[in-house]
């Protein structure tokens, strides 16, 4: 039976702390995704350390190990802040879960890039797959901007035929420009998700989701010497925390679902060919009003201001100076 070294024990303790924080996330799909993702990263890191130790020596493996432990500690702090209700960290976890950023986003884009011939030395913009072309066109024509990814400004190439010297543009430079533009466009693409997943996000944003799936497990703590209950995962917060209420979570889901298209395959009526239909959803008009009241508000509170809410300047009566 092999014994664990103090270094391995510290790494194992860090892994358990990260997995414990994953179980406290407010979204059940985020719990499963972050749990599997963190566990996979630790296992891949362990196998990578073994290969490096045999190939490049022990010193380089230790350096990479310290960097990996530092990144794991940062991930633990991000999960703790997400569970505390910090907007930036909680939004990041939800974006990773639903494929707006991170590894799942690249996995969703593989279905569009595999059938495309736009990558490689001989770049051909017309070689994009029909699904990717439709997705770029729909995102380009979509009104409004996305807070998650910059907007796709154009879907066509605009490369001059001659350079600044008036000579024909070299083919190598043309290929480099095409690859750069293709990389910028692919970095801004929001990949679609299955229709059922978009429907579930829509229900959660409208407050129609299953309440049991949004409930958080009770955090287990420990007791100190005075008998007071404390938590072992306390950390110094930088930003402002927020209570994870249903209204707060609906706002987070609204931001996610508005930037999550759905890809549906439909059969053409006239031609026996498969057509791809990309659907975007805008539920801002369907969201509930932030404040509802059945009483009529007194109009006296609006006196003294104009239509824009600015205070009205009081007219001072002009008086004639007294005559001597």
Rounded CA-CA distance 306/303 in Å is: 8
The answer as to whether 33 is a domain residue is yes
Judged by average pLDDT, the poorest of 33-37, 123-127, 209-213, 320-324 is: 123-127
Q: What is the pLDDT of residues 105-125, one digit of tens each?
A: 999 988 777 655 444 434 455
Query: Do 257 and 118 belong together in one domain?
Result: yes
Judged by average pLDDT, the poorest of 20-34, 82-96, 255-269 is: 255-269
Query: Do 64 and 137 belong together in one domain?
Result: no
The answer as to whether 14 is a domain residue is yes
Query: Do 18 and 72 belong together in one domain?
Result: yes
Q: What is the pLDDT of residues 190-206, one digit of tens each?
A: 999 988 899 899 989 88
Confidence of residue 239 (pLDDT cuts 50, 70, 90): low
> Bigger pLDDT: 203 or 287?
203
pLDDT confidence of residue 49: 58
Query: Do 79 and 118 belong together in one domain?
Result: no
Query: Do 31 and 70 belong together in one domain?
Result: yes
Host domain of residue 191 = 111-214+239-287
Query: Do 29 and 67 belong together in one domain?
Result: yes
> Bigger pLDDT: 101 or 156?
101
The answer as to whether 177 is a domain residue is yes
The answer as to whether 17 is a domain residue is yes
Domain boundary among 67, 83, 99: 83
Judged by average pLDDT, the poorest of 3-7, 27-31, 122-126, 208-212 is: 122-126
Average pLDDT over residues 51-57: 52
pLDDT confidence of residue 176: 86
Query: Do 36 and 131 belong together in one domain?
Result: no
Instruction: Quote the crossing angle between the two packed helices 58-83 and 87-97, to the nearest 10°.
Output: 110
Query: Do 73 and 127 belong together in one domain?
Result: no
- Tally of domains in the chain: 2
The answer as to whether 248 is a domain residue is yes
Query: Do 262 and 171 belong together in one domain?
Result: yes
Closest CA to 236 of 86, 15, 18: 86
Query: Do 156 and 68 belong together in one domain?
Result: no
Confidence of residue 291 (pLDDT cuts 50, 70, 90): very low
For residue 297, is it left (φ>0), alpha (ψ between -120 and 50) or beta?
Answer: beta
Query: Do 170 and 58 belong together in one domain?
Result: no
Tell me the three state secondary structure of residue 305: strand
Query: Do 152 and 202 belong together in one domain?
Result: yes
Put simply, whether the predicted model's pTM sits higher than 0.95 gets the answer no
The answer as to whether 251 is a domain residue is yes
Beta-bridge mates of residue 216: none
């Amino acid at each position: 039976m092999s014994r664990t070294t103090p270094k391995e024990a510290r790494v194992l303790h860090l892994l358990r702390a990260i997995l414990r924080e994953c179980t406290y996330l407010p979204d059940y799909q985020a719990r499963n995704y972050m749990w599997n993702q963190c566990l996979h990263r630790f296992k891949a890191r362990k196998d990578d350390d073994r290969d490096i130790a045999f190939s490049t020596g022990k010193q380089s493996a230790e350096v990479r190990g310290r960097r990996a432990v530092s990144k794991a500690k940062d991930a633990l702090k991000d999960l703790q802040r997400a569970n505390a209700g910090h907007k930036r960290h909680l939004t990041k976890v939800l974006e990773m879960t639903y494929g707006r950023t991170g590894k799942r986003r690249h996995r969703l884009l593989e279905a569009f890039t595999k059938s495309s011939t736009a990558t490689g030395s001989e770049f051909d913009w017309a070689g994009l797959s029909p699904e990717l072309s439709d997705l770029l066109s729909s995102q380009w024509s979509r009104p409004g901007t996305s807070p998650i990814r910059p907007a796709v400004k154009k879907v066509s190439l605009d490369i001059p035929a001659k350079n600044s010297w008036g000579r024909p543009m070299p083919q190598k430079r043309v290929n480099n420009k095409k690859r750069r533009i293709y990389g910028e466009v692919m970095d801004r693409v929001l990949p679609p998700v299955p229709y059922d997943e978009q429907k579930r996000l829509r229900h959660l944003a409208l407050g129609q989701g299953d309440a049991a799936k949004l409930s958080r497990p009770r955090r287990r703590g420990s007791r100190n010497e005075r008998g007071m209950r404390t938590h072992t995962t306390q950390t110094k917060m930088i930003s402002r925390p927020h209570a994870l209420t249903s209204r707060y979570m609906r706002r987070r889901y609204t931001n996610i679902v508005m930037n999550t298209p759905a890809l549906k395959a439909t059969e053409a009526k006239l031609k026996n060919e498969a057509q791809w239909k990309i659907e975007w959803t805008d539920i801002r008009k369907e969201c509930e009003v932030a404040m509802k009241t059945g009483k009529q508000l007194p109009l006296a509170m609006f006196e003294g201001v104009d239509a824009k809410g600015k205070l009205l300047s009081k007219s001072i009566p002009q008086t004639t100076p007294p005559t001597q």
